[in-house]
Amino acid sequence: MILTVTLNTALDLTYAVPALVPHTSHRVDDVTERPGGKGVNVARVLSALGHETVVTGFAGGATGAVLRELLGALPHRPTDALVTVAGNTRRTLAVVDRSSGDTTQLNEPGPLIGADEWAAFLGTFGELLPGAAAVALCGSLPPGIHVGAYAELVRLARAAGVPVLLDTDGEPLRRGIAARPDVVKPNADELARLTGAREPLRATRDARRRGAHSVVASLGADGLLAVTPDGVWRAAPPTAVRGNPTGAGDSAVAGLLSALAEGLGWQDRLIRAVALSTATVLAPAAGEFDRAAYEDLLTRVAVEQHAPAA
């Protein structure tokens, strides 16, 4: 079983418009509604790949009820182990501009989590860990959760002997990486905020020195850069693609996590991650991927190994 943690789950709404023009009214061409939050998106991809997957975190209020209903209706659905809270689960809105292919994202902050609700989550997390082959800690923290929450969860996973991947930003990332997760997966902006460096290799090496066993940086259309104990790796799709990038990073996490749970090496982990993230850009909504494109890309992603990690 693979466990994903989404402390700030969301109901993801995607609007498609012919062109997004500020200060005007828009007629929406298409609306999609999906259970979301980074770890939920990761779990959806893992389940579609055939992995037994469990989702935990928080869900509450009318929005949380819709999220759980949609989660349960998925054809390949992860097990719902979300902890019910009093507050209302947030919504995220992605507006896709069909003329340019660009996406504008609006994210609500999430419900206020009380001390008793955090304690209930820790109990659930502790019960699930012994059955997990790997765990992903993903996304932002809702209000009320202490900034060292991910560091606490990394330490609990490590104590249980479960490989842990961390995908977050800001101070939760800074503190979480010091707890020595097995893999950290920031994007270029998150890396820059963490390290102060914009050059990808320098920033990725700096992030690894802060405590992570391995760091895999998302570089958008340029693919992934990984600094690991086995060396430095670069992986990229064969060609640039246009589409909705929402959820592409989450699909990369799913690829890394599934390959980690299967005991695959870094080359295969990165091929799977790049193929999934690229296939997600080609799909219409977050948490989905174009399966035909994914299977084709598995044979065409370019991977290069460079010098040993510094």
Q: Which two tokens stand for residue 116?
A: 């008793």
Sheet holding 30-36, edge to edge: 30-36, 10-17, 90-97, 103-107
97 is an active site residue? no
* Phi/psi of residue 179, nearest 5 degrees: -85, 0
* Number of residues in the chain: 310
State both tokens at 166: 């961390």
182, 206, 250, 290: the active-site residue = 250
Angle between helices 188-195 and 170-178 (to 10 degrees): 70
CA distance 280 to 169: 22
DSSP state of 9: -
Using alpha carbons, select from 1, 5, 79 the residue that is nearest to residue 37. Answer: 5
- CB proximity list for 84: less than 8 A, separation 6 or greater: 58, 59, 60, 64
On whether the CB atoms of residues 286 and 36 are closer than 8 A, the answer is yes
Rg (CA), the chain: 18
Could you give the residue numbers annotated as active site? 250
